[in-house]
Amino acid sequence: MSVIQVVGGRPLNGSLRIQGAKNSVLPILAATLLVKGETVITNCPNLSDVDAAIAILNHIGCKAGREGESVIVDSRTVTRADVPHELMSEMRSSVIFMGAMLARMGEAKLSLPGGCELGPRPVDMHMSALRALGAEIEETGGNIVGIAKKLTGCNVNFRFPSVGATENAMLAACGADGVTVITNAAREPEICDLADFLRKLGMDVQGEGTPTIMVRGRPQSAHIIHRIIPDRIVAATYLAAAAAAGGEVELIGVNPEHVMSAIEIFREMGCHITESGDRLTVKSSGSLKPAKAIETQPYPGFPTDMQPPIMAAALKCAGTTVFVENIFENRYRHAEEMRRLGADIKIEGRVAIVTGGKKLAGAPVKATDLRGGAALVVAALWAEGITEVSGIAYIDRGYDNITGSLGKLGASIERVL
Ligand code: UD1
């Protein structure tokens, strides 16, 4: 089993290009099922989750494969409408294929995604949206089976702005007759990227980025080229790394607006951050002060996915930082591992109290989820001595070559077998 080995204490300096967004590429790969032709998706990060989505498309009968930083999908040849358990279990967000399969094939059989490392992740909102559009859905023997002889536009109102459920509703709505209006929709930039993609297919999509999205399914055009937006969570992770380790790092190919809630926090911590077009430069002395309470919220609020890496920077702040996690029930497992490095973190339900400014000492730690794993790497960058992070398959789900990227900036980091 490989581990990531970090020798802490080196500042980070230099430039880094930010990869395309994992959370954008996955629903867009599902959306390629709606195209009766070839789709070229550029700026695709090299991630195990992307490989899993490509494997699902090939299983369904598409011809999907990687060419450099692009993924090319030919969906003319779909032959089946099921995703087997092995493929489903590799990537929880594969439930997003349900809406696209119902829109394209009128049927879908997936195994239930079940709980995950962040606690229970129900899919009730996904299913109620698909049912409202006219799908008959049964959950039996660990599978979800959906049949839609006909999908019809309708009003879908979510009790919470779920990202995945909004995407599933948008995808199914593309195969529906008439207009679908989604209210209390998620507003994340990845929803906007999906809407841009769907418009290239000739769908009429309006309102993305606001709580009300309107979708009118239309005939699809063939041969689409689409560039994935930059990964805002990866950008925030490298900002956290530079803030905590100290140094001057330029991130290229970022949308600063998408990272604004994190930028504000790093400025409060004492970092100097400048924006210029698609570039962000962070300058940090490595001596940080605590920011005010950090509370996760749906976009444009502070994203739950940035909570773990920013906690790793908060450990460097001289004083107390309070985190409140409102999106997932069990999203502080990285805190237990950070304690092995000497971190002072108290967890009370949804609240984490981080008392920073103490020395961390390298130790073996284990990634238990994607962003928590990346956060351990950030903490290791400034912990004294050697930290070995195991469980790095989680990190590979979302970070395209994290060791190469941080190594290029001057960190002493390598993947060891
Ligand atoms: C997406 C992101 C993930 C991010 C999350 C929140 C992808 C591939 N993943 O996940 O990185 O952390 O948004 O920003 O884009 N919920 C229900 N019932 C449902 C659906 C969700 O109760 O049917 C709950 C979840 O348990 C969670 C909350 O809603 O507590 C938010 O989940 P959601 O926005 O759906 O997250 P994902 O789409 O799974």
What is the distance in A from the centroid of ligand 1 to the CA of 328?
A: 8
Q: What is the pLDDT of residues 32-86, one digit of tens each?
A: 999 989 999 999 999 999 999 999 999 999 999 999 999 999 999 999 999 988 8
Which candidate in 116, 154, 174, 317 is catalytic? 116
Q: Confirm or reject: Cβ of 201 under 6 Å from ligand 1.
A: no
- How much distance in Å is there from the Cα of 27 to the middle of ligand 1? 13
Which tokens belong to 206?
């309006």
Both structure tokens of 61: 């009968």
- The residue whose CA has the least distance to atom 12 of ligand 1 is 305
| pLDDT band for position 218 (cuts 50, 70, 90) | confident
Distance CA 277, CA 20 (A): 17
Nearest CA to ligand 1 atom 2: 23
What DSSP character marks residue 288? B
Q: What is the mean pLDDT of the chain?
A: 95
**Cβ of residue 405 lying under 6 Å from some atom of ligand 1:** no
Q: Give yes or no for residue 123 CB within 6 A of ligand 1.
A: yes
Ligand 1 lined by 24 (C-beta under 6 Å): no
Q: Enumerate domains of the chain plus CATH numbers.
A: 3-19+230-416 (3.65.10.10), 22-227 (3.65.10.10)
Distance CA 78, CA 138 (A): 23
The closest of 363, 380, 260 to 316, measured between CA atoms, is: 380
Q: What is the pLDDT of residues 259-274, one digit of tens each?
A: 999 999 999 999 999 9
**What does the block give as tokens for 113?**
């995604």
Ligand 1 centroid to Cα of residue 164, in Å, is: 6
Using the mean position of ligand 1's atoms as its centre, give its distance from the Cα of residue 272 in Å.
32
pTM of the model: 0.96
Q: Is 192 among the catalytic positions? A: no
CA 127 to ligand 1: nearest atom: 23
